[in-house]
């Protein structure tokens, strides 16, 4: 749900303003209204510095070093400068290492030759030339007649040297190469030296990762608080010859008591009012423990507008079921539930909600795996296992699963339309929801009539005509209460056309649930089938490869299927459900002016 907000206007005498800002920052509940003004260069520099610190912490965090207790009064600027310099130096050394290895490959065929010996021979008018050619060409008479010596060779290539005296022009059918500037040994020594330097840098960075991350985070908090303070001053209006300062902001209704107590204690003049729909009201979402797990998924699309409903609690159960439908293997679900549960025992606090979400998704996968009769790629409907002989009729075959996907889609679409009606009542009033109510009458009434007629409970078509007429009346004549009657009729007719075609297309989109579940099951079956063939291929080694292939195959299937099982339900949520629920979005996140880790707002 969206936490209700109140709008505040604070009037403070200019000499007391800094003290007031400090108090407001300490209580940490007021979201300051930012004016359309350009931030100062000083604040811009602070933002750049914050970005540098955050990148440094992220870089150190990836080194996976156990953090030890460190001094909090470290010189942050010195540490940051050192980290950046070592990163650049390490990158340059790695680039140099790549170049050296390439050079080593070129020199390797020539071995560790002596440049001093070559120079001495040149002083005696004896020259050493370096050549490369194919094996076939080298053993031809055209080359062997000269004074040559093989240095190294491969199956197809010969590296050789030719000795000649000055003044003799010798032409040879081979590619001449320049004398390497460094020997193999020299380059190899330089590579080892470079690796040692990289190792020293990594040791230093590992030490920073162990000892400085908490202190760097504290520095980030300090800079953030200071930049927020400066930003608050920037968004303050000076009144009455700059004697009175005006600051505007929003605070949750739940914090009213604490905030009012502070204002009364300091004798601060303020105006409290209910915000209007025209205001850009920040959004603070607060849900129960289950729905809160799905908030990161909703934020991938957009925060809701303040005036509408938060759809997190509404789409969460559907998302969970759709994931289970797509993955649809009880064995895979067990891995998610048990694996996430075991990892929770040693996981960090911030990771545990993700693991809890994974367990719920795994639970849904177990349920739909049982419904479809799939366990680690085994089709329990067709298996000969006696344990399942009496329950085979309870499993749903592919045709039934196809129908179930459409039924679940229809339920979510109709539920979305109900949410849309509630949303319009909340935002604009009951009369603006009548058009949506008309669609509910047509869809629910028409579907109920079809079901009851099929069982011969009702047979009069006049009931259907009444349903369609009543629903059509609301759709056509209340499509937009703000325009004239003729425009409403035209808009209502267009709404009928666009909605009917849209709902039909939306409903077909839910077939992807069945398709993904079927493809995952088929791939699991194929993995099992191949594994069984491997098992019978050899007495001992076949058993080993059987286990290895099963582990590898099902792991790969889980990874691929899980990705699709997450993406496609998300697509159904953000496109089909959000559209039918009339989701607007575009909400601005509530960010209170507060000391870090000192806000009284708790989730």
More confident: 106 or 552: 552
- The whole-number pLDDT of residue 339 equals 92
Q: Which residues lie below 8 Å from residue 87, measured CB to CB, with a gap of 6+? A: 59, 205
DSSP state of 576: I
Residue 596 included in any domain: no
313-431-446 Cα angle (round to 5): 70
pLDDT exceeds cutoff 90 at 120: no
Number of neighbours of residue 584 by Cβ within 10 angstroms: 14
**Judgement on whether residues 307 and 411 belong to the same structural domain of the protein:** yes
Instruction: Identify the top-confidence range among 40-44, 48-52, 60-64, 318-322.
Output: 318-322
- The whole-number pLDDT of residue 169 equals 66
pLDDT exceeds cutoff 80 at 454: no
**Judgement on whether residues 262 and 198 belong to the same structural domain of the protein:** no
Provide the token pair at 184: 């193999």
pLDDT exceeds cutoff 70 at 69: no
**Judgement on whether residues 301 and 407 belong to the same structural domain of the protein:** yes
**Judgement on whether residues 485 and 446 belong to the same structural domain of the protein:** yes
Start-end of H helices in 108-177: 115-123, 135-138, 141-144
d(C-alpha 357, C-alpha 291), whole Å: 10
- The whole-number pLDDT of residue 165 equals 76
pLDDT exceeds cutoff 50 at 9: yes
Angle between helices 434-454 and 461-477 (to 10 degrees): 160
**Judgement on whether residues 28 and 45 belong to the same structural domain of the protein:** no
Residue 25 included in any domain: yes
Query: Residue 332: which of 544, 571, 564 has the closest Cα?
Result: 564
CATH for 273: 3.30.70.120
Under 8 Å between Cβ of 445 and 467 = yes
Residue 585 included in any domain: no
**Judgement on whether residues 267 and 308 belong to the same structural domain of the protein:** no
Instruction: Identify the top-confidence range among 26-40, 179-193, 345-359, 464-478.
Output: 345-359
Terminal Cα-to-Cα distance of the chain (whole angstroms): 12
**Judgement on whether residues 226 and 277 belong to the same structural domain of the protein:** no
Q: What is the mean pLDDT of residues 55-75?
A: 74
- Confidence band (pLDDT; 50, 70, 90) for 361? very high
- Confidence band (pLDDT; 50, 70, 90) for 600? very low
- The whole-number pLDDT of residue 88 equals 93
Query: Residue 286: which of 5, 3, 30, 597 has the closest Cα?
Result: 3
Number of neighbours of residue 384 by Cβ within 10 angstroms: 6
d(C-alpha 477, C-alpha 497), whole Å: 15
**Judgement on whether residues 444 and 551 belong to the same structural domain of the protein:** yes
**Judgement on whether residues 166 and 266 belong to the same structural domain of the protein:** no
- Confidence band (pLDDT; 50, 70, 90) for 364? very high
- The whole-number pLDDT of residue 602 equals 43
d(C-alpha 538, C-alpha 535), whole Å: 7
Q: What is the mean pLDDT of residues 440-461?
A: 80
Provide the token pair at 248: 């505007």
Residue 246 included in any domain: yes
Under 8 Å between Cβ of 566 and 416 = no
Residue 594 included in any domain: no
**Judgement on whether residues 576 and 506 belong to the same structural domain of the protein:** yes
**Judgement on whether residues 448 and 540 belong to the same structural domain of the protein:** yes
Residue 593 included in any domain: no
Q: What is the mean pLDDT of residues 160-165?
A: 83
Angle between helices 76-107 and 41-61 (to 10 degrees): 60
Burial class of residue 353 (count of CB atoms within 10 Å of its CB; 0-12, 13-18, 19+): middle
Q: What is the mean pLDDT of residues 412-421?
A: 90
CA 484, distance to chain mean position in Å, is: 47
Number of neighbours of residue 44 by Cβ within 10 angstroms: 12
Taking the complete model, does pTM exceed 0.85, yes or no?
no
Q: What is the mean pLDDT of residues 485-502?
A: 82
Q: What is the mean pLDDT of residues 532-536?
A: 82
Three-class SS of 341-407: HHHHCCCCCCCHHHHHHHHHHHHHHHHHHHHHCEECCEECCCCCCHHHCCCHHHCCCHHHHHHHHHH
Domain coverage including residue 139: 114-179
- The whole-number pLDDT of residue 603 equals 41
Q: For 280-307, what is each residue's pLDDT tens digit?
A: 889 998 988 899 999 899 888 888 888 8
Under 8 Å between Cβ of 581 and 314 = yes
- DSSP codes of every residue in 187-234: HHHHHHHHHHHHHHHHHHHHHHHHHTHHHHHHHHHHHHHHHHHHHHHH
Q: What is the mean pLDDT of residues 224-229?
A: 85
Q: What is the mean pLDDT of residues 257-263?
A: 89
Residue 91 included in any domain: yes
Residue 504 included in any domain: yes
Which strand (E) or helix (H) includes residue 531? Answer: helix 511-535
Query: Residue 496: which of 478, 475, 482 has the closest Cα?
Result: 475
Q: What is the mean pLDDT of residues 48-63?
A: 87
Mean pLDDT of the chain: 85
**Judgement on whether residues 346 and 296 belong to the same structural domain of the protein:** yes
Measured CA distances, 161 to 134, 174, 218 (Å): 14, 11, 65
pLDDT exceeds cutoff 70 at 64: no
d(C-alpha 516, C-alpha 285), whole Å: 32
- The whole-number pLDDT of residue 338 equals 94
Q: How many domains does the chain have?
A: 4
- The whole-number pLDDT of residue 144 equals 79
Under 8 Å between Cβ of 235 and 33 = yes
Under 8 Å between Cβ of 143 and 113 = no
Which strand (E) or helix (H) includes residue 469? Answer: helix 461-477
Under 8 Å between Cβ of 558 and 333 = no
Q: What is the mean pLDDT of residues 148-172?
A: 81
Q: For 72-119, what is each residue's pLDDT tens digit?
A: 567 888 888 988 999 899 999 999 999 988 888 888 888 777 777 877
- The whole-number pLDDT of residue 95 equals 92
Rg (CA), the chain: 37
Q: Phi then psi for 238, rounded to 5 degrees? A: -90, 130
């Amino acid at each position: 749900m969206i936490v209700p907000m109140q709008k505040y206007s604070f009037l403070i005498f200019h000499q007391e303003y800094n003290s007031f800002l400090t108090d407001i920052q300490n209580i940490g509940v007021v979201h300051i209204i930012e004016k359309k003004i350009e931030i100062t260069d000083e604040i811009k520099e602070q933002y750049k510095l914050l970005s540098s610190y955050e990148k440094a912490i992220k870089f150190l965090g990836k080194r996976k070093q156990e953090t030890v207790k460190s001094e909090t009064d470290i010189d942050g600027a010195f540490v940051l400068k050192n980290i950046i310099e070592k990163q650049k130096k390490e990158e340059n050394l790695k680039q140099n290492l790549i170049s050296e290895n390439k050079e080593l490959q070129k020199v390797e065929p020539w071995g560790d030759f002596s440049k001093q010996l070559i120079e001495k021979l040149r002083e005696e008018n004896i020259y050493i030339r370096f050549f490369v050619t194919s094996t076939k060409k080298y053993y031809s008479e055209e080359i062997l007649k000269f004074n040559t010596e093989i240095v190294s060779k491969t199956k197809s290539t010969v590296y050789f040297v030719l000795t000649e005296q000055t003044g003799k022009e010798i032409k040879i059918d081979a590619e001449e190469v320049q004398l390497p500037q460094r020997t193999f040994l020299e380059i190899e020594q330089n590579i080892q030296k470079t690796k040692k330097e990289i190792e020293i840098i990594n040791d230093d960075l590992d030490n920073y990762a162990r000892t400085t991350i908490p202190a760097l985070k504290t520095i980030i908090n300090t800079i953030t608080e200071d930049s927020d303070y400066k930003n608050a001053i920037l968004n303050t209006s000076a009144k009455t010859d700059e004697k009175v300062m005006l600051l505007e902001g929003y605070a949750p209704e739940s914090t009213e008591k604490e905030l009012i107590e502070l204002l009364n204690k300091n004798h601060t003049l303020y105006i409290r009012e209910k915000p209007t729909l025209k205001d850009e009201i920040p959004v603070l979402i607060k849900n129960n423990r289950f729905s809160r797990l799905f908030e990161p998924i909703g934020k991938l699309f957009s925060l809701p507008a303040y005036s509408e409903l938060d759809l997190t609690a509404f789409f969460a159960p559907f998302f969970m079921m759709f994931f289970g439908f797509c993955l649809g293997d009880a064995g895979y679900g067990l891995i998610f539930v048990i694996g996430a549960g075991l990892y929770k025992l040693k996981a960090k606090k911030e990771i545990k909600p993700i693991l809890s979400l994974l367990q719920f998704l795994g639970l849904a996968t177990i349920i739909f795996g049982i419904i479809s009769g799939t366990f680690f790629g085994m089709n329990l409907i067709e298996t000969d296992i006696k344990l399942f002989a009496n329950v085979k009729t309870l499993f749903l075959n592919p045709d039934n699963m196809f129908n179930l996907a459409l039924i679940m889609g229809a339920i979510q679409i109709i539920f979305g339309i109900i949410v849309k009606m509630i949303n319009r009542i909340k935002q604009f009033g009951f009369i603006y929801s009548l058009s949506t109510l008309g669609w509910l009458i047509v869809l629910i009434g028409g579907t109920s009539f079809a079901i009851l007629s099929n069982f011969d409970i009702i047979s009069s078509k006049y009931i259907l005509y009444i349903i369609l007429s009543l629903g059509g009346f609301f759709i056509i004549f209340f499509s937009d209460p703000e325009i004239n009657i003729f425009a409403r009729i035209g808009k209502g007719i267009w709404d009928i056309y666009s909605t009917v075609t849209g709902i039909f297309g939306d409903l077909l989109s839910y077939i992807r649930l069945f398709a993904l579940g079927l493809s995952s099951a088929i791939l699991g079956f194929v993995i099992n089938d191949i594994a069984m063939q491997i098992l019978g291929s050899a007495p001992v080694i076949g058993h080993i490869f059987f286990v290895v292939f099963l582990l590898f195959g099902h792991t790969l299937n889980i990874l691929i299927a899980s990705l699709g099982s997450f993406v496609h339900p998300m697509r159904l949520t953000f496109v089909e459900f959000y559209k039918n629920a009339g989701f607007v979005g575009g909400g601005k996140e509530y960010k209170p002016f507060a000391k870090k880790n000192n806000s009284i707002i708790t989730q």
